[in-house]
Amino acid sequence: MMTFCIPELNRSLEGSLKQKIDLKTKPIGALGDLESLALRIGLIQQSLSPSLNNPHILVFAGDHGIAKENLVNPYPQEVTYQMVMNFLEGGAAINVFARQHQLALEVIDAGVNHDFGDQPHLIHAKIAKGTANYLNGPAMTLAQCQQAMQKGAELVDQVYQRNCNVIGFGEMGISNTSSAALIMHTIMGLPLEDCVGKGTGANNSLQKTKLQTLDKVIHQHNRIDKKNPIQILSTFGGFEIAQLCGAMLQAASRGMIILVDGFITSAALLIAEAIDAHVLSYCIFTHCSDEKGHAAMLDHFKAIPLLQLGMRLGEGSGAALAYPIVASACAFLNEMASFDSAGVSKENQ
């Protein structure tokens, strides 16, 4: 069993960071949420002059046994590997946004049901060619789950060793909104219908079948221990979700800034939080996805997302889009003049 050691956020610089922010040439609080963002970045890095180094987006891809039945997913399973090829060729939304904002992008085969052969730019971390169908039993064994978490952690360490201190996580996996909904329902205890949404675009009829199918899955696994996050992850998870979970825990252990994307990455974070709640201190919630359930998840994390654009794509797209805002928070803290340095008068009330 792997262990993570996430340091509790040291708040000793909070007062001086707040003072530095308040002394910038602006009315108190006028940079709104950018100010709390700057404070969070300073606390994570334990610095009054933080810096964002070698930002990365890691996209984990995996397939799901349930997808073959077409009961929960509008798109067929092969779209997962086809989109991985698209990522490698540079044509997906995440490629465009990562290029635009100069973010390094890594694509990981966590468990896609395809032989990619020799793809030099793909990170080969396949646990198996897709999970088992959770209608019949757990999606993966405990050993596979731990192996996946370990692999996710190792990949973060490799990026950390390249001097990266800010990392966004994305995913690709047909049917993974179903895994995320099952995890959300089990951990948060909300009714299943509040957790199940349209995913890639289920129509009303498919959404009904999706809900009925996932209700069956919940009944099938009604003896699950709701206090055992690894059991929940191995029962409902995808390999990409398990790698994300290990990756997030390791990133927090290394004191990195974590950019959380949408519904599925947030479900991975629910598991990570249940393993070590300190992980949340290192997270920046980049956007509120349009997927039903994400807003409630963000409330659970007490998160104020940076963006709300009605997006429900995944791939880390929200994290990439929000990166310039995070960079601006860091930049104003470092570069803005203070009232004293610029000779501007302070308020007189």
Ligand X SMILES: O=C(O)c1ccc[n+]([C@@H]2O[C@H](COP(=O)([O-])O)[C@@H](O)[C@H]2O)c1
Catalytic center residues: 315
How many degrees, rounded to 5, is the angle at CA 138 between CA 136 and CA 141?
135
Using CB under 6 A, count the residues that bind ligand DMD: 8
In this structure, are residues 285 and 298 in contact, taking their beta carbons and an 8 Å threshold? yes
Q: Which of 35, 106, 109, 315 binds ligand DMD (CB under 6 A)?
A: 315
Q: Could you say whether residue 106 binds ligand X (CB under 6 A)?
A: no
User: Per CB under 6 A, which of residues 320..349 are in contact with ligand DMD?
Assistant: none
Report which residue type is found at 51.
S
**Where does residue 203 fall: left (phi above 0), alpha (psi -120 to 50 degrees), or beta otherwise?**
beta
**Smallest gap, in angstroms, from Cβ of residue 238 to ligand X?**
9
How many degrees, rounded to 5, is the angle at CA 28 between CA 22 and CA 33?
90
In this structure, are residues 167 and 255 in contact, taking their beta carbons and an 8 Å threshold? no
**Smallest gap, in angstroms, from Cβ of residue 312 to ligand X?**
4
Site string for ligand DMD, 140-179 (x = CB under 6 A): --------------------------------x-------
**Smallest gap, in angstroms, from Cβ of residue 58 to ligand DMD?**
14
Q: Could you say whether residue 174 binds ligand X (CB under 6 A)?
A: yes
Query: Given the complex with ligand X, which of 74 and 255 has the nearer CB atom?
Result: 74
User: Nearest to residue 138, comparing CAs of 228, 235, 240?
Assistant: 235
User: Per CB under 6 A, which of residues 247..276 are in contact with ligand X?
Assistant: 261-264
Question: Which of ligand DMD, ligand X, none does 63 bind, CB closer than 5 to 8 A by kind?
Answer: none
**Smallest gap, in angstroms, from Cβ of residue 205 to ligand DMD?**
18
Q: Which of 176, 186, 207, 235 binds ligand X (CB under 6 A)?
A: 176
Residues in the chain: 349
- Relative to beta strand 104-111, strand 56-62 is parallel
User: Nearest to residue 60, comparing CAs of 286, 289, 244?
Assistant: 244
Q: Is 121 exposed, middle or buried (0-12, 13-18, 19+ CB in 10 A)?
A: exposed
Q: Could you say whether residue 238 binds ligand DMD (CB under 6 A)?
A: no
Query: Given the complex with ligand X, which of 75 and 116 has the nearer CB atom?
Result: 75
- The 3 state secondary structure assigned to 257-304 is EEEECCHHHHHHHHHHHHHCHHHHHHEEECECCCCCCHHHHHHHCCCC
Query: Given the complex with ligand X, which of 24 and 312 has the nearer CB atom?
Result: 312
Q: Could you say whether residue 200 binds ligand DMD (CB under 6 A)?
A: yes
Site string for ligand X, 191-230 (x = CB under 6 A): --------xx------------------------------
Q: Could you say whether residue 178 binds ligand X (CB under 6 A)?
A: yes
User: Per CB under 6 A, which of residues 37..76 are in contact with ligand DMD?
Assistant: 75
